[in-house]
Structure 1
Amino acid sequence: MTGATGAVGGRVARRLARTGVPVRLLGRDPDRLPDLPGADHAPAARYGDAQAMRRALDGAHTLFLVSAHESPYRVREHTTAVDAAVAVGVERIVYVSFQGAAPDATFTFARDHWDTEAHIRTAEVRHTFLRDNWYLAGLPAMAGTDGVLRGPGGDGRVAAVAHEDIADAAAAVLLDEGTDHDDRVYDLTGPEAFTLAEAADELSRVTGRPVVYVPETREEAYASRAGYGAEDWEVAGWVTSYEAIANGELSAVSDAVPALTGHPAKSFAQFLVENPDSYRHLLAGG
């Protein structure tokens, strides 16, 4: 289990621990890993450190590989981790990817996921790819305290998904020791696709204050993000994530969440009801 200190990996780790299956948690800093019943902590390892990854993965049957933090070196880190897993005899990799992963994806980070998937496919290992859509939690977070959600998303639709649903789906795949999930790609989405303007309307309804979506051109998007001091590759990822919505690359709704978990995927409205902290900054700024 990688990513156990994060929003997806932590949820998956807790679900697996509750079942009693042997779980090994892997992280760069073992002191930050959660203490879960029946779970042990692997020696510290970074994806890009081949020897450390081999030590951490030695004896494991399945690797749940949560994608590394975005960086110019992410694909290299992923491939190093995959090669280490194969070298020590890991038999299966379940990789957290992104919907629309392709070599020519609009969203630049989705290209990294495609390259990682391609490397896993060439390895002699069983594999499953979980391609997440945008996170529902990201939508209120992208609205500023001024009540404005801005970006070059046009009138495109996004089938955003809840972390909880991703975790349920991932746990279902990991706990199935059969071969039904081998060589499968699952798009994990919410139950509907909606525009960013509709997301702003829903935020307005829930918070009781005006929240609006302001579409930007590409030039306006780069200009409005110039003050963050981020590197060019990171800003490009931010901007192109919106452009992927505008181009319709995140609009497809999948039935993978209900098919894998046995329950419907959460809607944006349901997510907001269950997670008031996600929009508390909008209440403070209203």
Structure 2
Amino acid sequence: MTSAPTLAITGSTGRLGGRVVRLLDGVPRRLVVRDAARAPALAGCETAVATYDDGAAVRAALTGVETVFMVSGAEHPERVAQHRSFVDAAAAAGVSHLVYTSFYGASPTATFTLARDHHATEEHIRASGLAFTFLRDNLYADFFPLMADEQGVIRGPAGDGRVAAVAMDDIAAVAAEVLRNPAPHAGATYDLTGPVPLTLHEVAEIITASGRKVRYVPETIEEAYASRAVYGAPPWQVDAWVSTYTAIASGELAAVSDAVPRLLGRPALTLAATLSG
């Protein structure tokens, strides 16, 4: 590399972080990963190994870095504590600006339980003194097909509620746009959504049109907990699964934002376009 990177990207082995890494081709960047063997081998990249809860390793990984793209950690009962550890280590390392992938409608009273974790993380970042940009992503449109079971049925207590799900390609493109020149975005919170709110009946119809027959079967909340009991997941995780649907039913995920077209200069991707890509 011709210069040491002043940009660090976490989650680069994942679906979102990996997209961002590749969109920033030509920008020197440091990839902060848990496993160096899984880091993408790309020109202009160097690798540092750290987990979010290892403060010493994070400080070492971020030394000399000005801007960090912080992909939220994997779902875990201690995720907020892990996030706080990472943020504190970033501040101690001298990082100036943190771009964090949060969740649409993050608040302490959000119906979707994990959105409360994102709110707690946002508050810790605000208190850290770091400049920040929050990308509040709606549900990932790309994941809708994965919500269907082996019989092609999406089950959950979403009723006829609507969700303005966003394509991961759009989130990555916005992140790359911000990371190329973060200063104008300091202090901003961007709600990232798709172009139209859809019911899960409509989602199923669009998936079916893409080639896989899928239908949506509404459940009561009690039925939703019962149908998920077979997985043996811990209560906090089942709460998260079920509240994904109840958040849709409540209307909390339905509003469409103009952030994607405003930042990218093009319309947000539709679900149909996302599934055909």
- TM-score scaled by length of structure 1: 0.92
Separation in structure 1 between the aligned mates of residue 81 and residue 130 of structure 2, nearest angstrom: 18
In the alignment of these two chains, the number of paired residues is 269
Counterpart of 1:204 in structure 2 is 208
Identity of aligned residues (%): 55
Q: Does 1:219 align with 2:227?
A: no
Give the 3-state SS of the residue equivalent to 2:223 in structure 1: helix
Counterpart of 1:280 in structure 2 is none
Letter in 1 for 2:216: Y
Alpha-carbon deviation of 1:124? Answer: 1.3
Letter in 2 for 1:242: Y
Give the 3-state SS of the residue equivalent to 1:106 in structure 2: coil
Counterpart of 1:138 in structure 2 is 143
Q: Does 1:65 align with 2:70?
A: yes
Which region of structure 1 is more displaced relative to structure 2, 263-272 or 57-66? 263-272
List per-residue Cα deviations over 1:12-70 (Å, max 9, x = no partner): 01111x1x22200001111111011101001x211001111111111100011000001
**Alignment counterpart, residue 6 of structure 1, candidates 2, 10, 14:** 14
Alpha-carbon deviation of 1:245? Answer: 0.5
Separation in structure 1 between the aligned mates of residue 117 and residue 31 of structure 2, nearest angstrom: 24
List per-residue Cα deviations over 1:70-106 (Å, max 9, x = no partner): 1110000001000000001100000000001000111
Give the 3-state SS of the residue equivalent to 1:257 in structure 2: helix
Letter in 1 for 2:107: A
Give the 3-state SS of the residue equivalent to 1:137 in structure 2: helix
List per-residue Cα deviations over 1:242-276 (Å, max 9, x = no partner): 110000110011111111112211101111222xx
Separation in structure 2 between the aligned mates of residue 106 and residue 255 of structure 1, nearest angstrom: 23
Q: Does 1:235 align with 2:238?
A: yes
Give the 3-state SS of the residue equivalent to 1:214 in structure 2: strand
Letter in 2 for 1:61: E
Structure 1: state its 5+ residue gaps. Answer: 275-286
Alpha-carbon deviation of 1:177? Answer: 4.0
CA RMSD of aligned residues (A): 1.0
Give the 3-state SS of the residue equivalent to 1:138 in structure 2: helix
Q: Does 1:47 align with 2:52?
A: yes
Distance 1:208 1:6, change over 3 A: closer
Counterpart of 1:158 in structure 2 is 163
Letter in 1 for 2:226: A
Counterpart of 1:252 in structure 2 is 255
Separation in structure 2 between the aligned mates of residue 203 and residue 57 of structure 1, nearest angstrom: 41
- TM-score scaled by length of structure 2: 0.95
Give the 3-state SS of the residue equivalent to 2:27 in structure 1: coil
**Alignment counterpart, residue 21 of structure 1, candidates 16, 21, 27:** 27
Give the 3-state SS of the residue equivalent to 1:213 in structure 2: strand
Q: Does 1:266 align with 2:269?
A: yes
Separation in structure 2 between the aligned mates of residue 190 and residue 247 of structure 1, nearest angstrom: 18
Separation in structure 1 between the aligned mates of residue 141 and residue 204 of structure 2, nearest angstrom: 12
Give the 3-state SS of the residue equivalent to 1:26 in structure 2: strand
Separation in structure 1 between the aligned mates of residue 182 and residue 68 of structure 2, nearest angstrom: 13
Letter in 2 for 1:24: R
Separation in structure 2 between the aligned mates of residue 104 and residue 271 of structure 1, nearest angstrom: 31
List per-residue Cα deviations over 1:139-188 (Å, max 9, x = no partner): 1111122121110111110001111100000000111143x211110011
Which region of structure 1 is more displaced relative to structure 2, 106-115 or 258-267? 258-267
Counterpart of 1:278 in structure 2 is none
Separation in structure 2 between the aligned mates of residue 37 and residue 125 of structure 1, nearest angstrom: 29
List per-residue Cα deviations over 1:167-214 (Å, max 9, x = no partner): 000000111143x211110011111101001111122223263x2211
Give the 3-state SS of the residue equivalent to 1:230 in structure 2: coil
Give the 3-state SS of the residue equivalent to 1:225 in structure 2: helix
Structure 2: state its 5+ residue gaps. Answer: 1-8
Separation in structure 2 between the aligned mates of residue 260 and residue 6 of structure 1, nearest angstrom: 23
Which region of structure 1 is more displaced relative to structure 2, 107-116 or 228-237? 228-237
Letter in 1 for 2:225: Y
Separation in structure 2 between the aligned mates of residue 217 and residue 208 of structure 1, nearest angstrom: 25
Runs of 4+ in structure 1 displaced over 3 angstroms?
Answer: none
**Alignment counterpart, residue 134 of structure 2, candidates 129, 137, 157:** 129
Separation in structure 1 between the aligned mates of residue 205 and residue 167 of structure 2, nearest angstrom: 19
Distance 1:208 1:50, change over 3 A: closer
Give the 3-state SS of the residue equivalent to 1:10 in structure 2: helix
